[in-house]
């Protein structure tokens, strides 16, 4: 039995690196410190859906083949393609992503990561106005106003609140965990009291329904000392339940709300009485809270990036943050989903200059979301081959894009027989990054962390990096042969 | 065994006192040797060419989180400068923040062989090293930012220099760093809550320490640790009119630090710290005041931070300064504070000839470089990409070596800046020998790089050969010809291998990453207390913080014996 | 005059910035046929992809017959001459154009007239997103010249406009005139939401209905007629709004009063 400390969890952008994993006979038997999702992944990654050996589609069926045959087939597809797509990259390590960029360049393809369907708009927003941000520890130590906008960390990034924001002890700000527990207790007590009254057991006067909350009205506690949690969303999420103040914004009206807040921060008067379902007088109170805090932060999620306005929503959220810096310290950060989508953006950028949607077809990197992004290329039916790695567009892309993907030769690299792999023509099994393979990943605040190998992969199963290197080498050799033949022909 | 003989060139090797003598340079297995077997060695006929040690850049932001964020936010910067893949080289993009491969190619093509990445947040050190691995053809090193690191602030506040020194040694090893970098000391911690310090005697909120104490404390620590380079300082109040007073006070404060004759501080991109006036309207050069002080003291070295008139990207750990630039320009603004350690910011910037402020900045850089008499004190940089991209160096070479060249540029500048400029009164034109000092020998000496910046026996065989015949070409007159020659080296030789010929990459090699392995008598104790503190201060585990050996593709540990 | 006819339907993007009167000027058909283009990741010659014929007519300088929706960057940076496309046009048509004329007898794709400086683009069908808008990360919008679209335009058109005129005879998508600082945009029919968001100057005139007005505009009055350019006046009456307040902006938004009765409940009280 071995107990491995400080393991980095390969699930979400929180990249919690304090996980303790116990291994017996190359099996994970116990996981400490992780959230439920983390535990489920470490305990359950060895499912029956694991691909055991390379497969090639022959006569409509995926049949097992040798590694060499699969590598050659994949390389041939890519080397002969006129406009291939190389998509995914978010759930693998930076080492594999590095090889991926070189492969895309070698085959003149469109290199894209899953940011295109999550936080690509965030990157585009920063290209318009920049981004005032920090690492997560800075927020832990200093933030007294924490806003989650269009995201629900309690469900999607379960340890975000306890590790980085409202429920963590910082040097200059304390955890609000106790006061939250008191609130929960008080609420439970009130419930008991109410039901007692209903049962005629209590003679106390009927409770003034203390939380007879006026819709979207800021509570008095918004002015309290210490950390304050504000949640803005279209529905009351789990995180919203625990917030000091929840603003329910009308769907697809975030842009208007933020632009109105910007005008109010600049002391402008608005002609309208309400914006996005929130009375302007309440918004003024919100602005008071924001400009009077010591250190505020906005975390935003796909509620902003993927609703109407997309990257303009992010641009205005960042602009609001910039404006608030005229009055106090305010920062903003995207809640990145996949554990290493930030790494994919970072690696692509240092090698090519661009973070996603990189088109190498002209022999140099080009970038223009809408033109060079995988989704758009697929929807226009321009590509003639694809390699998908560490992601599952077969399950997540719109139907028309999937059809376009399937129409052409499709290479898939994944540990699992996922939806995309089932549609593939050449399928490679790979080892689990962060469980069976080490490497580097980048947290949502762009902090690099080492991933650990805690167990050995099944026999014969290679890492993404090793597989990509094999394919790259084979592509180079096929191209060299072609050049030679051409020269001889001439 | 590979041998190379560079025959009959005009050699400029200031560290060995060689000033344009016609001689041969012999190379065996990557090192300069006294002689090689004349029949076996490959030969380069350098007749009529200028031979110098490979150039060294003491300060250039080429890798890491800040640089890469700059890349990510500026597609409009890349789209105008694309680099195609070739059979030998990778593709990429420029302009002001080139992708990693392009960075290596472009430096090498100018005869550069060693560069220093001067700004690395320790928490992001792995990132910096991953990028350095992807910068080919150059030897590299990187400086961790520790001037506002809580451990440093706390130990110095307590007056515990030895404790501080041990932690700095630990940090250098942990981040695989090469020198102590200090940026706007105290200002960055203050910026955590949106504040700044405005003189070297302002007290840093919550820490009870002043910039003066941080600078002098770390300078002493640097001496105690016997580090090859001095502390590397970006001064307080950088980029603000009237800041030359702060710069002078800083230099005076450092006189109190004992030295055995070695410089105890390097003030980087001095141009940005030499503004007189008290607002942007009357901002002017303080090059006279600053250079006068420097000419009378020898405890420090400097680099230029020369402004280039072009579109570029400013990026520095000085978060509050970048915020000031944002307020001035309204451009896209990145701020990137790092817990427990430092901050950072990015603003795109276009330096215009027709801007009085920009043109004055341009003039200040050259005035300083020309008025500081000793070339061993002042080196050529643009603080890439802050004052301009590094591949504009040949332009600076022309301005430094040719009055004609700089007057031609000055004539196109804003009238007000022209009137205020000291350049018309300065006759000095750097010789090729002096140029070799400010672009390699001086930089290597200041950095304490024993095998760099010279061509003596035992040196690394990093050589640059330029198409300049000093007997027939007067670079002060034919500055355009010289500019071309320095833009496109006839040969660049890295560790004895010809990597560039006629300005084109002909061979790909990986450079090394140099780092300091500091041996202290007593190391810091990594006990439960230290781990507990670590958990309090950072959001990553102690075990995951260090840059492990495998993060350096070609590591070169330089062992230093500390006196603590 | 050079007539280009695609030899096939293009599946892969074709990059053909060489299709420009300035480039063709003084070249023989043979020389034109050997100009470099890219089809997907393959380098080709223009003659590999197009039938190229020369006629004696002077104008237009270039005609592309049939669909060219995958042919990108036609007329990029052109300074003189005239291009007519009898079919749909590809992305980046007339990008950074500095003079001359482009006519599309069909629909135009994204980034048509992106950051154009001068000249005239006429689209007799619809235009897609980012009409006249600059490249990602850039704020250098259209500076001069004129674009006329007979049909509808997509989203984010006219962004960062700093001069020139855009006339849309149909409907406009969301974020029309985002962050403009100068110049004029006229939408004859209806406009999508976030109209003129973050504008700091210039004017936007809408004769039809407006999906929803940004809350950050303040009413300034009502006006009968508004001048678009020297040749065109829009008939009102129009509500006049100033904004965008979030940018302390001083842009003018003219919105038809009769076509937007929903605005009267909110704004009439300030008049």
pLDDT tens digits, one per residue of A352-398: 999 999 999 999 999 999 999 999 999 999 999 999 999 999 999 99
- Residue C116 is assigned to a structural domain of this protein: no
Looking at the fold, whether C55 and C175 belong to one and the same domain comes out as: no
DSSP, res B387: S
- A323-345 average pLDDT score: 97
pLDDT at A212: 45
Looking at the fold, whether C267 and C162 belong to one and the same domain comes out as: yes
* HSE, side-chain direction, 13 A CA sphere, residue B463: 35
Nearest by CB: A382 against C13, C175, C212: C13
User: By CA distance, what is B132's nearest residue in A?
Assistant: A350
- Residue C193 is assigned to a structural domain of this protein: yes
> Which chains, if any, share at least 3 CB pairs under 8 A with chain A?
B, C
- A415-440 average pLDDT score: 96
pLDDT tens digits, one per residue of B190-248: 999 999 999 999 999 999 999 999 999 999 999 999 999 999 999 999 999 999 999 99
Nearest by CB: B337 against A123, A134, A169: A134
**How far apart (Å, rounded) are the C-alpha atoms in residues A24 and B156?**
47
**Residue C4 to chain A, least CA–CA distance (Å):** 22
pLDDT at A213: 61
pLDDT at B335: 98
User: By CA distance, what is C42's nearest residue in A?
Assistant: A82
User: Is the CB of residue B135 less than 8 Å away from at least one CB of chain A?
Assistant: no
Cβ atoms of A423 and A406 closer than 8 Å: yes
pLDDT at C129: 98
Whose CA is closest to B98, among B138, B125, B58? Answer: B138
Looking at the fold, whether C266 and C134 belong to one and the same domain comes out as: yes
Q: A152-161, A190-199, B65-74 — which is least confidently predicted?
A: A190-199
- Residue C108 is assigned to a structural domain of this protein: no
Nearest by CB: A255 against C40, C194, C219: C194
* HSE, side-chain direction, 13 A CA sphere, residue B522: 7
Radius of gyration of chain C (CA): 20
Whether pTM exceeds 0.95: yes
pLDDT at A203: 57
Q: Which of B75, B76, B78, B79 to mutate to test the interface with C (most CBs of C within 10 A)?
A: B76
- Residue C237 is assigned to a structural domain of this protein: yes
pLDDT at A44: 81
- Average pLDDT taken over every residue of chain A: 94
Cβ atoms of B334 and B346 closer than 8 Å: yes
pLDDT tens digits, one per residue of B312-346: 999 999 999 999 999 999 999 999 999 999 999 99
pLDDT tens digits, one per residue of B232-262: 999 999 999 999 999 999 999 999 999 988 9
End-to-end CA distance of chain B: 42
**How far apart (Å, rounded) are the C-alpha atoms in residues C97 and C104?**
15
Looking at the fold, whether C59 and C141 belong to one and the same domain comes out as: no
Cβ atoms of A31 and A10 closer than 8 Å: no
Q: A348-357, B294-303, B518-527 — which is least confidently predicted?
A: B518-527
Looking at the fold, whether C137 and C182 belong to one and the same domain comes out as: yes
Q: Which of A126, A141, A295, A353 to mutate to test the interface with B (most CBs of B within 10 A)?
A: A353
pLDDT band at B352 (very low <50, low <70, confident <90, very high): very high
Q: Do A350 and B92 touch (CB under 8 A)?
A: no
Looking at the fold, whether C65 and C133 belong to one and the same domain comes out as: no
Whose CA is closest to A8, among A339, A374, A348? Answer: A339
Q: Which residues pair with A245 in a beta bridge?
A: A230
Last residue of a domain, one of C31, C66, C90: C90
Cβ atoms of B273 and B244 closer than 8 Å: yes
Nearest by CB: A134 against B126, B326, B338: B338
pLDDT tens digits, one per residue of C110-167: 999 999 999 999 999 999 999 999 999 999 999 999 999 999 999 999 999 999 999 9
Nearest by CB: C135 against B73, B75, B332: B75
pLDDT band at B117 (very low <50, low <70, confident <90, very high): very high
- pLDDT of A201 above 70: no
Provide, as residue numbers in chain B, all residues whose Cβ is less than 8 Å from the Cβ of A366. Answer: 79, 82
User: Is the CB of residue B533 less than 8 Å away from at least one CB of chain A?
Assistant: no
Looking at the fold, whether C168 and C252 belong to one and the same domain comes out as: yes
Q: Do C136 and B76 touch (CB under 8 A)?
A: yes
- pLDDT of B303 above 60: yes
pLDDT band at B546 (very low <50, low <70, confident <90, very high): very high
H-state helical runs in A92-176:
94-107, 120-129, 136-142, 153-156, 160-164
Last residue of a domain, one of C69, C90, C111: C90
The DSSP string of B171-219 is HHHHHT--S-EEESTTHHHHHTTT----STTPPPTTT---HHHHHHHHH
Looking at the fold, whether C144 and C73 belong to one and the same domain comes out as: no
Distances (CA, A) of B105 to A403, B134, B510: 42, 11, 11
Tell me the two tokens of residue A459.
């026999």
Looking at the fold, whether C154 and C247 belong to one and the same domain comes out as: yes
Q: Do B68 and A8 touch (CB under 8 A)?
A: no
Q: Phi, psi (5° rounding) for residue C77?
A: 65, 15
Helices B65-73 and A341-352, packing angle to 10 deg: 80
Distances (CA, A) of A64 to A387, A423, B173: 19, 15, 48
Provide, as residue numbers in chain B, all residues whose Cβ is less than 8 Å from the Cβ of C246. Answer: none
**How far apart (Å, rounded) are the C-alpha atoms in residues A226 and B484?**
62
Whose CA is closest to A341, among A121, A9, A7, A13? Answer: A13
- Residue C15 is assigned to a structural domain of this protein: yes
The C-side interface with A (CB below 8 A) comprises 11-13, 15, 38-42, 70, 91, 110-111, 129-130, 135-137, 139, 156, 174-175, 178, 193-194, 197-198, 212, 214-219, 244-246, 248, 266-267, 270
Provide, as residue numbers in chain B, all residues whose Cβ is less than 8 Å from the Cβ of C137. Answer: 73-77, 332
- pLDDT of A206 above 70: no
Q: Which of residues 152-191 of A touch B (CB under 8 A)?
A: 163-164, 169, 171-172
> Which chains, if any, share at least 3 CB pairs under 8 A with chain C?
A, B
User: By CA distance, what is C72's nearest residue in A?
Assistant: A371
**Residue B79 to chain C, least CA–CA distance (Å):** 9
pLDDT tens digits, one per residue of C72-95: 999 999 999 999 999 999 999 999
Looking at the fold, whether C172 and C50 belong to one and the same domain comes out as: no
Provide, as residue numbers in chain B, all residues whose Cβ is less than 8 Å from the Cβ of A163. Answer: 539
Q: Which of residues 177-236 of B touch A (CB under 8 A)?
A: 192-194, 206
A356 by DSSP, 3-state: which?
Answer: coil
**Residue A353 to chain C, least CA–CA distance (Å):** 13
**How far apart (Å, rounded) are the C-alpha atoms in residues A429 and A421?**
10
pLDDT at A181: 87
- Residue C120 is assigned to a structural domain of this protein: no
Distances (CA, A) of A33 to A39, A44, A139, A159, B133: 9, 17, 21, 10, 34
Last residue of a domain, one of C63, C90, C117: C90
Provide, as residue numbers in chain B, all residues whose Cβ is less than 8 Å from the Cβ of C140. Answer: 76
Q: Do A131 and B83 touch (CB under 8 A)?
A: no
**How far apart (Å, rounded) are the C-alpha atoms in residues C71 and C5?**
12
pLDDT at A208: 46
User: Is the CB of residue A53 less than 8 Å away from at least one CB of chain B?
Assistant: no
- pLDDT of A207 above 70: no
Burial pattern A444-470, b for ≥16 Cβ within 10 A else e, equals: bbbbbbbbbbbbebbeebbbbbbbbbb
Q: How big is the A-C interface in CB pairs under 8 Å?
A: 113
A471 by DSSP, 3-state: which?
Answer: helix
Structural domain boundaries, residue C52: 1-90
Provide, as residue numbers in chain A, all residues whose Cβ is less than 8 Å from the Cβ of C130. Answer: 370
Q: Which residues pair with B92 in a beta bridge?
A: B83
**Sign of the C-alpha dihedral, residues A9, A14, A18, A20?**
negative
pLDDT band at A205 (very low <50, low <70, confident <90, very high): low
pLDDT at B260: 86
Looking at the fold, whether C173 and C232 belong to one and the same domain comes out as: yes
**Residue B443 to chain A, least CA–CA distance (Å):** 27
pLDDT at A45: 77
**How far apart (Å, rounded) are the C-alpha atoms in residues B93 and B9?**
35
The DSSP string of B74-91 is -HHHHTTSEE---SSS--
**Residue C220 to chain B, least CA–CA distance (Å):** 27
Q: Which of residues 321-350 of B touch A (CB under 8 A)?
A: 323, 326, 331-340, 343, 346-347
Tally of domains within chain C = 2
pLDDT tens digits, one per residue of B429-488: 999 999 999 999 999 999 999 999 999 999 999 999 999 999 999 999 999 999 999 999
The B-side interface with C (CB below 8 A) comprises 73-77, 79, 332
Q: A167-181, B7-21, B262-276, B395-409 — which is least confidently predicted?
A: A167-181
ipTM given for this complex: 0.97
pLDDT at A185: 85
- Residue C107 is assigned to a structural domain of this protein: no
pLDDT at A197: 72
**Residue C178 to chain A, least CA–CA distance (Å):** 10
Q: Phi, psi (5° rounding) for residue B55?
A: -75, 155
Q: Do A272 and C215 touch (CB under 8 A)?
A: yes
User: By CA distance, what is C268's nearest residue in A?
Assistant: A271
The C-side interface with B (CB below 8 A) comprises 134-138, 140
Q: Do B339 and A134 touch (CB under 8 A)?
A: yes
Provide, as residue numbers in chain C, all residues whose Cβ is less than 8 Å from the Cβ of B79. Answer: 135
**How far apart (Å, rounded) are the C-alpha atoms in residues A116 and A86?**
13
pLDDT at B272: 98
**Residue B310 to chain A, least CA–CA distance (Å):** 19
- Residue C100 is assigned to a structural domain of this protein: no
Tell me the two tokens of residue C70.
């995958």
Looking at the fold, whether C52 and C133 belong to one and the same domain comes out as: no
Helices B403-410 and B479-487, packing angle to 10 deg: 100
Structural domains present in chain A: 48-116+339-432+462-489 (3.40.50.740), 120-174+211-334 (3.40.228.10)
**Residue B74 to chain C, least CA–CA distance (Å):** 6
* Angle at the Cα of B67 from the Cα atoms of B62 and B71, rounded to 5 degrees: 110
């Amino acid at each position: 039995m071995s107990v491995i400390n400080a393991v980095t969890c390969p699930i979400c952008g929180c990249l919690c690196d304090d996980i303790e994993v116990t291994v017996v006979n190359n099996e994970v038997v116990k996981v400490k410190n992780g959230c439920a999702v983390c535990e489920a992944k470490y305990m359950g990654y060895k499912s029956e859906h694991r691909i055991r050996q390379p497969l090639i589609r022959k006569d409509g069926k995926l049949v097992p083949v040798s590694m060499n045959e699969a590598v050659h087939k994949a390389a041939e597809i890519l080397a002969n393609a006129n406009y291939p797509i190389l998509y995914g990259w978010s759930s693998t390590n930076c080492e594999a992503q590095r090889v991926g960029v070189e492969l895309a360049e070698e085959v003149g393809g469109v290199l894209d990561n899953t940011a295109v369907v999550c936080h690509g708009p965030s990157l585009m927003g920063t290209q318009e106005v920049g981004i005032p941000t920090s690492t997560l520890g800075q927020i832990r130590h200093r933030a007294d106003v924490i806003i989650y906008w269009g995201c629900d960390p309690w469900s999607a990034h379960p340890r975000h609140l306890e590790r980085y924001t409202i429920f963590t002890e910082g040097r200059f700000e304390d955890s609000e965990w106790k006061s939250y527990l008191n609130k929960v207790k008080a609420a439970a007590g009130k419930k008991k009291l109410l039901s007692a009254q209903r049962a005629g057991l209590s003679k106390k006067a009927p409770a003034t329904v203390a939380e007879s909350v006026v819709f979207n009205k800021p509570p008095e506690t918004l002015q309290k000392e210490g950390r304050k949690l504000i949640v803005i969303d279209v529905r009351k999420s789990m995180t919203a339940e625990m917030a000091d103040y929840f603003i329910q914004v009308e769907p697809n009206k975030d842009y208007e709300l933020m632009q109105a807040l910007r005008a109010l921060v600049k002391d402008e008067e608005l002609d309208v009485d309400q914006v996005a379902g929130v009375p302007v007088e309440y918004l003024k109170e919100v602005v008071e809270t924001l400009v009077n805090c010591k250190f505020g932060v906005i975390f935003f999620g796909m509620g902003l990036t993927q609703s109407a306005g997309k990257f303009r929503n992010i641009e205005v959220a960042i602009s609001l943050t910039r404006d608030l810096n005229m009055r106090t310290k305010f920062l903003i950060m995207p809640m990145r989903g996949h554990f290493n989508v930030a790494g994919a953006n970072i690696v692509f950028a240092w090698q090519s200059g661009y973070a996603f949607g990189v088109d190498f077809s002209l022999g140099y990197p080009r970038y223009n979301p809408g033109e060079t992004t995988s989704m758009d290329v697929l929807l226009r039916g321009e590509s003639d081959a694809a390699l998908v790695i560490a992601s599952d567009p077969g399950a997540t892309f719109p139907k028309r894009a999937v059809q376009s993907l399937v129409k052409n030769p499709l290479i898939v690299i994944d540990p699992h027989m996922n939806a995309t792999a089932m549609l593939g023509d050449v399928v490679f099994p790979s080892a689990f990054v962060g469980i069976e393979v080490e490497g580097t990943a980048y947290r949502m605040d762009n902090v690099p962390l080492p991933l650990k190998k805690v167990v050995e992969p099944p026999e014969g199963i290679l890492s993404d990096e090793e597989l990509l290197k094999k394919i790259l080498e084979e592509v180079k050799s096929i191209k060299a042969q072609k050049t030679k033949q051409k020269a001889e022909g001439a | 065994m590979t041998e190379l003989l560079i025959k009959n060139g005009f050699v400029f090797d200031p560290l060995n006192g060689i000033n344009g003598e016609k001689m041969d340079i012999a190379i065996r297995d990557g090192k300069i040797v006294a002689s090689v077997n004349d029949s076996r060695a490959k030969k380069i006929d350098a007749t009529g060419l200028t031979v110098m040690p490979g150039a060294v850049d003491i300060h250039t932001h080429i890798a890491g989180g800040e640089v890469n964020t700059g890349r990510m936010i500026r597609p409009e910067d890349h789209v105008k400068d694309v680099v195609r893949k070739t059979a030998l080289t990778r593709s990429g993009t420029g302009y002001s923040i080139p992708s990693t491969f392009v960075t290596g190619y472009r430096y090498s093509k100018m005869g550069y062989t060693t560069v220093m990445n001067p700004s690395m947040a320790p928490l992001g050190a792995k990132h910096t090293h991953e990028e350095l691995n992807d910068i080919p053809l150059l030897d590299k090193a990187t400086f961790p930012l520790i001037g506002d690191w809580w451990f440093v602030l706390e130990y110095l506040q307590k007056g515990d220099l030895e404790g501080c020194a041990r932690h700095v040694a630990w940090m250098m090893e942990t981040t695989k760093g090469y020198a102590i970098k200090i940026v706007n000391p105290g200002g960055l911690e203050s910026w955590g809550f949106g504040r700044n310090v405005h003189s070297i005697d302002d007290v840093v909120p919550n820490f009870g320490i002043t910039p003066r104490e941080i600078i002098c404390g770390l300078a002493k620590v640097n001496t105690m640790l016997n580090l090859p380079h001095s502390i590397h300082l970006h001064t307080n109040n950088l980029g603000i009119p009237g800041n030359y007073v702060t710069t002078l006070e800083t230099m005076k404060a450092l006189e109190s630090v004992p030295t055995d004759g070695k410089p105890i501080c390097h003030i980087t991109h001095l141009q940005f710290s030499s503004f007189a006036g008290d607002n942007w309207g009357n901002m002017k050069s303080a090059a006279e005041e600053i250079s006068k002080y420097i000419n009378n003291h020898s405890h420090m070295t400097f680099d230029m931070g020369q402004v280039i008139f072009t579109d570029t990207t400013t990026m520095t750990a000085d978060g509050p300064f970048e915020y000031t630039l944002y307020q001035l320009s309204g451009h896209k603004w990145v701020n990137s504070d790092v817990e427990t350690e430092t901050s950072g910011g990015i603003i795109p910037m276009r330096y215009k000839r027709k801007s009085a402020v920009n043109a004055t900045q341009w003039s200040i850089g050259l005035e300083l470089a020309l008025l500081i008499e000793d070339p061993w004190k002042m080196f050529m940089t643009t603080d890439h990409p802050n004052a301009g991209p590094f591949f504009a160096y040949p332009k600076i070479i022309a301005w430094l070596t040719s009055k004609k060249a700089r007057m031609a540029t000055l004539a196109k500048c804003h009238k007000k800046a022209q009137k205020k400029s000291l350049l018309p009164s300065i006759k000095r034109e750097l010789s090729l020998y002096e140029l070799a000092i400010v672009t390699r020998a001086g930089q290597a000496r200041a950095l304490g790089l024993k095998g760099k910046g010279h061509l003596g026996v035992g040196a690394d065989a990093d050589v640059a050969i330029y198409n300049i015949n000093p007997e027939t070409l007067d670079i002060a007159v034919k500055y355009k010809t010289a500019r071309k020659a320095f833009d496109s080296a006839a040969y660049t030789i890295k560790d004895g291998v010809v990597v560039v010929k006629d300005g084109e990459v002909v061979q790909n090699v990986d450079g090394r990453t140099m780092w300091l392995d500091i041996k202290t008598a007593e190391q810091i104790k990594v006990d439960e207390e230290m781990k507990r503190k670590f958990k309090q201060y950072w959001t990553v585990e102690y075990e995951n913080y260090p840059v492990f050996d495998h993060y350096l593709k070609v590591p070169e540990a330089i062992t230093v014996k500390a006196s603590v | 005059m050079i007539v280009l006819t695609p030899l096939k339907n293009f599946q892969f993007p074709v990059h053909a910035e060489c299709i420009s009167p300035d480039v063709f000027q003084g070249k023989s058909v043979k020389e034109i046929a050997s100009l470099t283009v890219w089809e997907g990741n393959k380098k080709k010659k223009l003659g590999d992809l197009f039938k190229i014929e020369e006629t004696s007519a002077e104008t237009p300088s270039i005609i592309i017959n049939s669909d060219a929706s995958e042919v990108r960057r036609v007329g990029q940076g052109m300074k003189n001459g005239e291009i007519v496309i009898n079919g749909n046009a590809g992305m980046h048509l007339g990008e950074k154009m500095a003079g001359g004329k482009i006519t599309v007898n069909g629909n135009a794709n994204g980034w048509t007239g992106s950051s154009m400086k001068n000249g005239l683009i006429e689209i007799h069908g619809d235009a897609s997103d980012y009409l006249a808008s600059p490249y990602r990360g850039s704020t250098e919008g259209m500076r001069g010249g004129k674009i006329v679209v007979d049909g509808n335009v997509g989203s984010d058109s006219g962004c960062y406009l700093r001069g020139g005129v855009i006339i849309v005879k149909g409907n406009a998508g969301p974020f029309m005139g985002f962050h403009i600082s100068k110049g004029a945009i006229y939408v004859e029919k209806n406009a999508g939401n976030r109209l003129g968001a973050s504008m700091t100057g210039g004017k936007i005139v809408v004769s039809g209905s407006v999906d929803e007005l940004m809350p950050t505009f303040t009413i300034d009055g009502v006006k009968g007629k508004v001048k678009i350019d020297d040749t065109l006046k829009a008939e009102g009456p129009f509500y006049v709004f100033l904004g965008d307040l979030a940018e302390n902006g001083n842009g003018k938004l003219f919105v038809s009063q009769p076509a937007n009765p929903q605005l009267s409940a909110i704004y009439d009280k300030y008049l």
